[in-house]
Each structure stands twice: as C-alpha cells, then as structure tokens.
Structure 1
Amino acid sequence: MRADQIPLSRGVFERLTALAMDVPAVLKQAGLPADLIGQTRVVLTTSQFFNLWRAAEALYDDPSLGLRLGDGARQEVYDVVSLAALHSATLGEAIQKLARYKRLTCPEDISIELSRDDAAVSARWMLAEGHAPHFLIDAVFAAHLALAERGTGRSIRLKRLELTRRPTATEVLHGHFHCELRFNAAQDRIVYERADLDLPFITHDQDHLARLLPTLEASLQEQSATTSLRDKVWNVLARGMRGSHLRMAQVADALHLSPRTLQRKLGEAGTSYQQLLDQVRRHLAQRLLNATDLDTGEIAFLLGFEELNSFNRAFRQWEGETPTRWRSTIAG
C-alpha cells in the first residue's frame, strides 16, 4: 500500500504568515496540533493535508490566497523534485520530471497528455477522499506556472485551465492565469501550448541534475517495488478515465505485463480487473456528482459507459439510488 505521507516544508508556514494568515488559527481550525509550527519535519496524511487547506478557505474568504501561495515558486523551491525540474533543459523536460518523480514527495500523481497543439498537465491526489480543496488546486497550478516562467525567464501564455469545480472566482483566476477557464471539467488540468515545451530553461544545470537524478531514480525503483499491483492498476485506470473504457489489455501493456499475467496476479491479490474498474468508476462518479454541475449523461461518458442506463444501473448497485437522487441528497 502506498504510504499516506505528505512532508510539509516549514517554508509553507512562513509563506502563509507572509500572506497575513494566522497559522495557529488555521491549524486549530484543521484539528492539527499547534506545535507543528516548531517541528523540524512535519508529515501529514492526505486527509490532514486537505483539512489544512479547507481550514484556510474557511477562515479567509479570499480566492487569491492559493494563487499567491503557489506563486512563491518564483523565488523558492520547496522540494528536491521541483529543484530537478528547475534545472532541466526545457519546459517539456521539466514537466516530465515533475510527472515522473512527484509521487516520491507525496501521494500526488501528475500526468501529461499530448495532442497536436496541447500539452495538458493534470494533478490527482491518489489517496484522497473527496475533492481536493480549491485553495490547494489553485496553489499547485500557480506553482506550475511560476516554475515554468522562472525556468524560461519569460511569460508563458497558457491555452486554458480546466477545473473540476463549479464556476467561481472567475475574475481572480483569469487575472492570474490570463487564459480560457473551463469549469465542470473531468480533471483538474493546466494546458500549455505544445510548442512551448521546447522553450529552453535559463536555470538549466546539468551538473546539478547529474547529482540529483541517480538518487531520484533509486527512490523511484524502491517505491515501485513496494507499491501493490492493485494500486498500480488503480492509477492507470484513473488517469485514463476521460471518455473511454480502458481494456484490460491496455492496462496490462501500461504495466509491462501480459493480460493473462495481470489477471492471474490480481486474482492472487484477491481482486479482479472488473472489481477495480468498478471501484475507480464509483470513486470518480461520486467526486464529479458532488463537485461539478455535469449532467449524469456527461459523467457516464467520462467514466466510459456506453449508455446512460448502464451508468444508472451500476450506480444504483453501488449506492442504492440513482445518481440524480444521490446528488440531491449530498447537496442537502
């Protein structure tokens, strides 16, 4: 099982203080001990981490706070993975390093989807229950853009920002990212012009990379060896849940296994491909119904159901009621 550990840099508390936030009050609101501020190494679970940002949202009705927190990446780098990205040769290489190594520092999965004109970078918290706080998502994407502009030494013109939330704070978000905003999205994604991936980094430092990468690669191999097959399959399915139904052969190929071997190993682990597919679909269905205004037909499509009736039947088996009624119940 993946370790549910998120190390929190002391720089985060300093940054929150610099934003005129009462950190002890935020910790209290989050149900976290006040002495975290003085600890040398703070490690939170995903639930605690989310509670921290939800507490900040509750105490400070300022939609710019997450953006300003993430923008701190223009001056500081909080972890070794971001440092490796900053020392990359190009923007594309930097994004690839974030996608490859980010899960070493916390259970956050970053994936890249390339089309002819777009390079979409999505962030997903692998051990999250419920939707990530808006404050956190804004901070993550603001940090992505800040690192890209710091590395290239120039302004980056994003194509768009896709957010799995109902329309909110549109003026603040547009004022920061200066791009198209798409709400009620299937995933939280920041989308670059694909051509911008070739932009060189003025912060490129090959010697520093040569010292960092062997350690990162060794840590990645160690983590992969201790990650269960169930978790690996879950991650592949969740990444690919964008209007298509990943077949077992596709998942097996992504994990460098034959379909027969994957089926056998999942059976030995007490589960099956279909069970995991249902679990991923159920998890994402709940999140989309709760956090967005997407209608049930759109959600059914995103989860790979060929017909709305099939989605309705599956959801009733999971929750005992239709998706529409479940959404109404959650909304109160």
Structure 2
Amino acid sequence: MQDYQKGLALNLLAYAVQKNTNIDRLCALSGVALSELRDEASASPSLKQINALWLNAAYLSQDPLFGLHFGESMQVAALGVVGELIRHSRTIGEALTHAASFAHLITDVLTMVVTASDQLFTIEFVPNVKRSRESPIVFRQMMDFFLAFTLHEVDGLILEKIQPVTVRMPVCAVDQTEYKRVLRCSSIQDSDKYVLEFDARFWEEPILTADYELQAVLLRKVNVLTEASRQKGVVSERIHNFLLANAYLGVPTLEAIASNLNVSSRSLQRKLREEGVTYQQLADSMRKSLALHYLQAGQHPVKEVSYILGYNELSAFNRAFRRWTGTTPASYQKQQSGARIHS
C-alpha cells in the first residue's frame, strides 16, 4: 500500500530544495534519513520527525508562510493513487468528494468535509484538536498547505482560475496580503473554522483539460534536474524547475514566482539579470515548449491552448507563436494532424 505521509514528506523536501534550502541540513536537523524516506520498505516518519520537517523547512527557507507556498506549488500527481482517482473524476464535485474520502490517508491533522447547495459548495477542513495542540506552529503551516493545495489543484482540472466566494480561517498576525493572493480572495473572514466557499456553478463543471500525462513527464524531469543542481543555487534554474513542475497549470507571473520564493519581484529580476537572463525569456521558453506539445497532441483547439498558456487574447498567442516558429498555431496544428494521419 502506498505510504502517502512519506510521499508528502518527500514532496516537502523537494519543494524546500526549490526554495534553495540545503536538504542535507534540513534532514539532519529533523532527524530524518532521506534514504529511508525513499525506501518503500522503510517505516513512515514519526510524528516528531514530521513536525520537525515542517518547522525546520520554514526556518531554513526563511519563509514564515512555507506551508501556504508549498500548497500553491504541489501537484495532485504527487498523491499517487489518490491523485489518479481525482483526475479521473467526471466533474469538480466528484473530484472533491473523492479527495475528501481519502484525505485521512494523507494526513491525520484534519478531515475534509464537502457539501453542496443550490448557490454554493463548501470545503471545510476540520482540525484534529489533539494535533492542533501538540504543535500550533506546525498545525498552522499544514492547514495553510491544505487550503492552498486544494484551491490550486482545481485549476488543473478546468480551464478557469477558480476564485472562492468566501474564505474563513483564524486570522493570524501575519500580513494577509499573501493569503489574499494565494487564496484569491480579497476578504478573508476571521473564524475558528477553515472553510473555502465556491459558486455552485463549478460543482458540475466537467474535468476536461488537465494534461496529467504531460505533468508526470515534467515532474520526472524536474526531479532529475533538482537532484543534479540542488547545490548550485542558480536562480534561473530554480525558476525553470518551478515552471516545469507547475507547467500543466499554465505559466505564473513574475510576482507569483517571487512571492513563492519569498523574495521581492525587484530582487528576483536583479538576480536574473546577473545570470544574463530575464523572466520573460524563461517564461517564453516554457510557453513555446508547452504550445508545441499541446498542438502536436491535437487534443485542444488553438484558443484553448492560448488560454492554458496564459494569453488573454488569441492574437497575442498567434504573434508569439509566429515569432517562435515562423508560422501560426492553426497552421502548425494542421501540419501535425496531417503528419499523424500519414504516419
């Protein structure tokens, strides 16, 4: 049986690397052996080790919102079999119902309750009171993680960046600006509960566009790149890896990347200039690779591919694609379709 808690710990370590954290020091401080986490036959990490990983990851990355940013970045494919159930659901409602049913396999920090009405559907994360009292700081990091992860994974299931109608959670002393950005809600209501509320129209939204085959390939590639370059600390490589890992959700803005890496946009731009590259160049390279993949696959119309890649206007995508290839997306897709027929 798949060890989901061990898998979550491994993904936490992988994300910490993306934030330029020394993984060997993180494991040493947390009393965790990376070789044991990778060994399917070894025991799951203890509660003490899990708590230490969260605490030390936030400390070494110098990111007090480590859990929130980790949740923004993690992919549903990392959940293994549970992720497979989610992505093979017919609708958003069905996917979330599956997620709620299997949440206990991933964590004992909370249970997930999903309810729907004519106007709204609600996801409530019900805390394990005992766990919340054992280590309040770790508990808050993990609750932030699940709020962000759940919201952002819905983006991978439909062609729309879904926004909550309401977010309810205990408002802490930390500036709410980053919570509002990650959770896409301008007003976060203070509450003793952790709740995301959405417009009911999304409940029956069909799952059509998530390309999880591409995601799996990208994740394997980024894991190799991360392992090979984790000691280099090159900012452009970290951004490239981040873009690869999240490419099936489109290309994020510079501001989103900077916030996730816990630096200012200006500082990130300066560091990239020092390496002789711009964020636009990195993003364009990723957009070109994705555009070629989607158009070659022939499963999405050009307008849909344009949206996936973050273009507000089809004309902007057409101009960019012509700059990359010398032809239009429609012409390229037609050529690829003809090549498949004759192969």
TM-score normalised over the length of structure 1: 0.52
Query: Considering only aligned residues, what root-mean-square deviation do their CA atoms show, in Å?
Result: 3.1
Counterpart check, 1:111 vs 2:117:
no
Q: Which residue of 2 aligns with 1:253?
A: none
Aligned to 1:195: 201
How many Å apart are 1:5 and its aligned residue?
A: 8.5
Distance 1:73 1:58, change over 3 A: closer
Deviations 1:94-152 (A, max 9, x none): 11111112223433411124455332212245461524533322222222122211011
Gaps of 5+ in 1: 206-332
The answer as to whether partners of 2:166 and 2:196 remain within 8 angstroms in 1 is yes
Instruction: Verify: 1:128 aligned to 2:151, yes or no.
Output: no
1:300 paired residue number: none
In the alignment, the residues of structure 1 paired with residue 39 and residue 73 of structure 2 have an alpha-carbon distance, to the nearest angstrom, of 22
For the 8 Å contact 2:5–2:105, the answer to whether it is kept is: no
In the TM superposition, residue 92 of structure 1 has moved relative to its aligned partner by 0.8
Tell me, in whole angstroms, the C-alpha distance in 1 between the residues paired with 2:126 and 2:31.
24
Q: What is the letter of the counterpart of residue 30 of structure 2?
A: A
CA–CA separation in structure 2 for the residues paired with 1:52 and 1:184? 28
| SS of match in other structure, 1:88 | coil
Taking a change above 3 Å as real, the CA distance of residues 140 and 53 of structure 1, as seen in their structure-2 partners, is same
Unaligned runs of 5+ in 2: 212-343
The residue identity in structure 1 corresponding to 2:50 is: F
Q: Which residue of structure 2 aligns with residue 98 of structure 1?
A: 99
TM-score (structure 2 length as normaliser)? 0.51
Does residue 6 of the first structure (1) align with residue 8 of the second (2)? no
The residue that corresponds to 2:174 in the other structure is: 168
C-alpha separation in 2, matches of 1:48 and 1:140: 19
Instruction: Report the CA distance shift for 1:20/1:154 in structure 2 as closer, same or farther (over 3 A).
Output: same
Report what 1:39 is aligned to.
39
Aligned to 1:156: 162
Tell me the equivalent position of 2:29. Answer: 29
1:14-60: CA deviation from partner (whole Å, max 9, x where unpaired): 23212322223233333434654553456234443233212222333
**Conservation of the 8 A alpha-carbon contact between 1:152 and 1:202:** yes
Are 1:62 and 2:63 matched, yes or no?
Answer: yes
Q: Do the aligned partners of 2:123 and 2:195 also contact (CA within 8 Å) in 1? A: yes
Q: Deviation digits for residues 63-92 of structure 1, max 9, x if unmatched?
A: 453333223345743332122112211111
d(CA) in 1 for partners of 2:77 and 2:12?
A: 10
Partner amino acid, structure 2, of 1:8: G
Q: What residue number does 1:19 align with?
A: 19
Alpha-carbon distance change, 30 to 162 in structure 1, aligned in 2, over 3 angstroms: farther
CA distance in 2, matches of 1:166, 1:82: 31
Moved more, 37-46 or 177-186: 37-46
Contact 2:166–2:188, Cα closer than 8 Å, also in 1: yes
1:178-189 equivalences under 5 Å are 178-182=184-188, 184-189=190-195
Separation in 1 of the partners of 2:163 and 2:87?
19
- Asked whether the equivalents of residues 180 and 188 of structure 2 are also in contact (C-alpha less than 8 Å), the reply is no
- Residues 221-273 of structure 1 show CA distances to partners (whole Å, capped at 9, x for unaligned) of xxxxxxxxxxxxxxxxxxxxxxxxxxxxxxxxxxxxxxxxxxxxxxxxxxxxx
**Paired residue secondary structure (1:44):** coil
1:165 and 1:53 map into 2 onto residues whose CA distance is: 20
Specify whether residues 75 and 85 from structure 1 end up closer, same or farther in structure 2 by C-alpha distance, changes over 3 A only: closer
Quote the Cα distance in structure 2 between the aligned partners of 1:191 and 1:203: 23
Q: Distance in 2 between matches of 1:23 and 1:136?
A: 20
Within the alignment, does 1:140 sit opposite 2:139 as a pair?
Answer: no
Partner of 2:268: none
Secondary structure of the equivalent of 2:123? strand
SS at match of 1:43: coil
State the identity as a percent: 15
Once the two structures are superposed, what CA deviation does each residue of 1:183-232 show, in whole Å capped at 9, x if it has no partner? 54222222222221121111589xxxxxxxxxxxxxxxxxxxxxxxxxxx
